[in-house]
Structure 1
Amino acid sequence: MALITKIREKSGIAAAAIAFSLVLFLVGSDIFQGRSTLFGGNSQKIGEIAGETILAPDFQKKFEEASANYTAQAGRGPGEQESPLLRDQVWNQMILDIAYKKEFDALGLSVSPEELIDMVQGNNIHPSVRQQFTNPQTGQFDKNFVIQFLKNLKTMPVQQQQAWANFEKSLGQDRLRSKYENLLRLSTYTTNIEAQKDYTAQTSKVDVRYLYVPFYSIADSSIKVTDAQLEEYLSSHKDQFKGENTRSIEYVTFPVIPSKADTASFYQQIKKLAKDLAVSKNDSAFAVLNSDVRTPYYSTLSELPEAVKTSIATFQVGGIYGPFKNGGYYSIYKYGGVKKDSLYTVKASHILISPANKTDSAKAEARKRAQTILDQIKGGANFEVMARTNSMDGSAQTGGDLGYFKNNGSMVKPFEQAVFGFSGSGLIPTLVETDFGFHIIKVTEPKTNTKYKLAAINKGIVPSQSTMDEAFRKADEFANANGTKAAFDASLKKDKSLIMLRANRISENSQGFNNLQAAREIVRWAFDKETSVGDASKKVFEVDNQYIVAVLTGKTDKDNVKIDDYRDELTAKVRADLKAEQIIKKLDGISGNLEQIAQKYGAGALVETANDITLAQGVLNSAGADPTALGKAFGLKAGQKSKPFKGEAGIFVMETIKSIPAPALADLSTYKNTARLMAAQRTSFYINEAIKEKAKIVDNRAKFY
């Protein structure tokens, strides 16, 4: 468009002619194929957000801007894997710009120019700014770098000025979103009744005996399920079986695997590279020029591949070692000795207990809870398990693991001082307090500042052109001979060397399926309106070093849910209901204690005991954590026996032997604070889902990309 505008300014009528020619050039193929939007063809509407229509040219322009920013940062344009991610980023940004902005405006939220200045060069620097302007010498944020950059901004290229403007805009949007989320997060609260419920669920205990007849004790083949029964179940459970646009395919792969000749050639190449690396005067430059993947010249022990890590103690300076297998590559190394870095590296895990608020009483409660956990770990409790069940940050999901980090200010000061002041590895015996709360820390790998000098050449075995041509020939021959599902299946029966794979319920926006990460072309073929169920692909698709021929085996429509869309799931549900009716009918006619009932029922009936179970974490031996059975156990009085009832995976007769109610607790603040913190942590997710639902987003990107 900038080119067209410039031409128009220069030459009037000529500009109009050239502009029209450019438009024809860009959309001509669509016009002649009847797909143009200029003359009443398909819409250029790529989606809708909160009532605003998103047109394909507008979206594409934003994508190109994002691509330019990516290119400026990465030094190369986005590839097949990066482009879909960038499109998602652009789409999510548009949701923020449109749907979120309406919510911000409704509440009168804004970020003032003064606030933005404070985030960039004031007293409350935004984390993104800190990251961008870290002094490489000290590893610390340097505000002078920011001020110097801003002074020189007007003399920089226009692209760089625009990039900074976009960056500042993103800072403002991030602050707006934080304000909005914090506002709603502060509205979360937990009542005494909710806290009491949590306390009771975790503390009340029962001892139970129960008869359990699992559904698997009756053979599936003995239960006949009709389509009419499936239709009835689907009709009465529509909320559980939502419609969506999906496709199912079967496909045959023809992998491009290096031949014996390719492997022999590769090893000759590695041998020659090893000899040349040994005599190279500039080994680091030689390694970079000859590697498929670059690795750092200096590496800490933690950064080395496992095979090298276990062998490096035997390396001699100037020696050549390898090849070592590292993922999909083979590596050879020239060892140049060690050096001491100015920074130390350590690996640690932690458990964070945060106070509910900034009051002294809340801090005291948090400290008490943290000390209790620390004492339990000292007494033999598993650190990782305690982290998963108690830590109040994201590392809880990985057992508290924080990975490797350096003493460069990446961690808050008290935490960093405690970890890097600790000798060796193991549990730090005292709590560490920071602004985030109280930390229980375990050093899993001791600090070190030793770096190893290794010039590494990393090469992958690449199939030769003749190997690739032969694989394609086989795939193309198969595709040409098998245009339908029937022919597809017949060929597979004849040729046992071919392996057929399935991918079910592929979504419209999927970039791949199963273990294929970049199979967008196959997905688009499957969703093409010209592709019918039973059609095989005439084209051979190339994905991840293999050729693929596919056949479409199924379609689902979000506006028309059919039993075939969920046949397996529906059949399992209906079959379970029929088994439940059969088992309960048989049990209803039997009396006596649990052992007598089981004996009279016959094969399949189990009698088991579970002691000291809680409602929150109860497990019933063979039946597992069945919520219906657990609820029934806590609902019965001691000595009371239930009638047969259906659980998740079988039929129960429950008998409560002993019930131990939760002791009276005057102060529920711990449970109240924990529940509130957990609710606050989920706020961001719930906000996002609610805004997207309210915006009634229509996403048609799959029709364009």
Structure 2
Amino acid sequence: MLESIRERSQGGLAAGILGVVILSFVFAGVGSYFNSEVDQTAAKVNGEEINLSTVEQAYQSERARMEAQFGQAFAELASSDEYIAQMRQGVLDRLVGEILLNQKVDNLGLRASDEQVRNTIREMQEFQIGGQFNNDRYIAIIRQAGFQPNSFRDYLRKEITRQQLTNALLASAFSLDDETKDILALQQQTRNARYLTVDAKPFSNDVNIQEDELRAFYEENLSNYDTQEQIDVAYVELKSSDLIDGIEVSEEQIEEYYQNNINNYQTNEERRASHILFEFGDDEDASAEKAEEVLAKVVAGEDFAELAKQYSEDTVSAELGGDLDWFGRDVMDPAFEEAVFALENVGDTTEVVSSEFGLHIIKLTDLKAKEVVPLADVREEITNNLKQDGASEEFYNLQEQMANIAFEQPDELIDVAATANTEVKNTGLFMRGNGPQPFDSVIVLNQVFNDTLIEDAVNSEAIEVSDEHIIFARVKQHEPERTKSFDEVKDEITASLSEKKAQELAKSWTNELRNSVAQGDSIDALLEEKAITWENKEAVGRFAYDMPAEVRTELFKLSTKDDDKLSVIELSDGNVALVELLGVNEAESFEDAQLTSTGQSLASQQAQTLVLGIVDALKDNSEVVTY
């Protein structure tokens, strides 16, 4: 039993869970999922709530990932309120899908055993030092993420069971050999081509736009000229992290802190043990009888390691004489752990111990007692702790003073800022979906897009951005949503229609070129007149970067038939292109590695589609309410 569990935990399951857990750690303080205070509800899935703070944490994590991966390209996308709204909805949809899968797991009765959870924890590199699990590191990391050992195990158990369901679905996906070869052939096909680009700007001289055209376009596209509500906010920011450098710590404080918290500077006790396992099987009485017989041999002084090799049903540890390596508390089965840590001396053995996995005879083979870490080794850590404590105390003192002044002087923030020796900052106008930091949080936005603050132009109460990070805000300017007038956008419409009509004229002229080329007529004189030249390309791949993406996409839509090897397309920059397919180069053969990789990719795509389809089906049969 333990052998099969270990095999599973050492395979794809543990790797998959690792990704899930580490991703979740990025959700600053994911442990708060288990013990959060009263929070606004963003959605309910069959009665199970998703808090707004959970959605916000997930959104901020996704945004940080996108910024790191795509840089300026993401910044341009994020300037669109519509894109940000879609991104937030996508995050919420993912959280809803996870809950639906968790609920399905519960309905199916799937469960991860304690041993699976423990093995997954022990195999996570994040919890290892020198390739070995380190309990101190484990405890430190999960606490930093907001967990206690029990809550982390519960969280991980849920992730493992959900992964079991998705892994079962993924295992059902496959690709046929012919399908793989066809896809690979298309991917590796190259094409010979030539194309030319026609600048549309010269054609704008022939464009004439009437006033009634402009007004008609305005009326037909009124929604394009709607503006969203905007505010300009003055604010004062206070963070405990900004106060740390001003906190002085004495040697006496360091010594006192060390003595008062000496338990925190002791290494955790670790033990090494060996065991002999007897699985319950179909006849628990027989297993118990056998365990007692072997225990008698142990008591009689027979070699424990040899007995483990002969009798233990945990075949992995049996080969090692029953050795389970080093472990601390909160790792093993509770009954097993209690028995091991009750042994006083190396070489002592237990009576028969019953656990979730069967019956054990356990021998203590080594131990590492608690050791006190010298003050010199933790002086810097203690200093930082004291500075942080001092900064926190100063933070709350200043917060109270600033709140009083903000209330007593509701129409200005200068004295509020002076209290904290800081300055009043201004955001400039921004919309609800695209606020600058720290106004990029839904929770903060809901506080400042507030009728009272907007209508009365008074100071807000302290708005909590995060732990020990607050702002006091006052709305300086408010622009309600409205539709811009025709006069405001007349020049914009004129420019847009002029570009569009110029492109249409350029496209019409380019179509004449296409017809001439199709008929075999020379167009050299026409091209020379406009200083246009053909760009010739050989063996262009489907993902090549040496030609415009729009041209490359169109090239791979063409065929070698006479009527379908020329195409005129509009380019996103307002110009026009003529594309001609000159030849198709088919891939002659494929390496085995390519076939394998492509087959796996196809299967993965099918599996992802399957999982998404199942989530959609679960949604259709569930009560999902968003707020």
The TM-score normalised by the length of structure 1 is 0.40
Larger radius of gyration: 2
- Normalised TM-score (structure 2): 0.44
